[in-house]
Structure 1
Amino acid sequence: MSQIEKELQDKLLIEMLDLIEQSVLCKMNIESTTNAGQLLLAKSRYIQGPQTVSVSQLPTENSNDFNALKTVTRQEDEINDELQLSTHKVDKENGFIDTIRWFGVLVPRSLQLAQERFNKAIELVVECANIQTKLNNTIRYILLLRNKSS
């Protein structure tokens, strides 16, 4: 194995360790953000009562269809394979509705904060998936370099 290959392998290993650290931190952020969202949902239900914030507000099979306000798309090229989160504006005519309105016009602040936390969790999940993709690519490059040198 040449000196250049050893240096490249060292850099890839350092990058792999950095990506592992980023992945762990991202997963911890997802956990804390979703936990905060769940606590805020519980607070909303406690404040408003169990009948105001419950399953009865959720759509059923007979409800009108609607589109998601956030969608994930894959951007692929020769080098990168990355996920991107697209956010759509609320537009009732095109089926983009704000689901928090299922719980009334004047929703509690804790319910709005819960929605924000879960939106942040979605962003973190996409970020974590991108980090995982980079980590998998780095591991693949390390294995290719090792196989080439042997």
Structure 2
Amino acid sequence: MESKDYENVCELLDKLYLDTLYLMEEEIKVNINMEKAMIEGENNLAKCRYIMGPNSVSAMNIPMNPEETISPSMLVKGSPNDLFPEVNSYQLHSVEDSKDNVSNPVKWFGFFTQQNLLNSQKFYKHSLQWAIQAVTIQNELKYLMKKCRVLRLVKASLAETEK
């Protein structure tokens, strides 16, 4: 009976290790996509600064008026994961605000903005989505590693009782 339990634990560990390898591969792909999106955003921002001039696209364009509040246009929300209910899965949601105080940061740089600036904003949003997906995958990996650690202890105790 105990040898069958030992085999079941070994099979479960094998499956968990395969799932871990799959998640590691997914995390690498997500990180590469996030890096590509960041590079594209930076390139478009550099093009825009070159076309409009270095002072037209800088930190000086950010509003410093204390009465003007800057509210986010997107929020990160967590919910239980479908595959692992103990692990939170994060997603990006747009803010639904009845007051129209959600401002588009691109408008800080003028009303007639360059297409490169809009492309840069788009790529940075994609990069943020990739980063959130990477965090979710990392949480799943941590959960699987905890399960593997527990199963290794169970395997060791079963091996001791067989002797």
Normalising by structure 2, we get a TM-score of: 0.83
CA–CA distance in structure 1, aligned partners of residues 98 and 47 of structure 2: 29
Give the aligned partner of residue 107 of structure 1. Answer: 113
- Listed as ranges, the matches of 1:27-106 within 5 Å are 27-60=31-64, 62=66, 64-76=68-80, 78-88=85-95, 93-106=99-112
Count of residues in Structure 1 that have an aligned counterpart in Structure 2: 149
Query: Which of the numbers 120, 124, 140 marks the counterpart of 1:118?
Result: 124
Give a deviation string over 1:55-110, Cα, whole Å, max 9, x none. 22112263511211111122247433211211125x68342111111111111000
Runs of 4+ in 1 over 4 A off after TM superposition: none
CA–CA distance in structure 2, aligned partners of residues 11 and 133 of structure 1: 18
SS of the aligned residue for 1:2 comes to: helix
SS of the aligned residue for 2:111 comes to: coil
Give the fraction of aligned pairs with identical amino acids, expressed as a percent.
24
CA–CA distance in structure 1, aligned partners of residues 57 and 112 of structure 2: 12
- The alpha-carbon distance between structure 1 residues 80 and 95, as it changes in their structure 2 partners (threshold 3 A), is same
CA–CA distance in structure 2, aligned partners of residues 101 and 116 of structure 1: 14
Give the aligned partner of residue 141 of structure 2. Answer: 135
Query: Which of the numbers 25, 28, 31 marks the counterpart of 2:29?
Result: 25
SS of the aligned residue for 2:64 comes to: coil
Give a deviation string over 1:108-150, Cα, whole Å, max 9, x none. 0000000000000110011000000111111111111111121
CA–CA distance in structure 2, aligned partners of residues 46 and 146 of structure 1: 57
- The alpha-carbon distance between structure 1 residues 63 and 29, as it changes in their structure 2 partners (threshold 3 A), is farther
CA–CA distance in structure 2, aligned partners of residues 92 and 40 of structure 1: 32
Native 8 Å contact 2:87 2:143 kept in 1: no
CA–CA distance in structure 2, aligned partners of residues 12 and 100 of structure 1: 46
Structure 2: state its 5+ residue gaps. 157-163
Rg larger in structure: 2
Normalising by structure 1, we get a TM-score of: 0.90
Structure 1: state its 5+ residue gaps. none
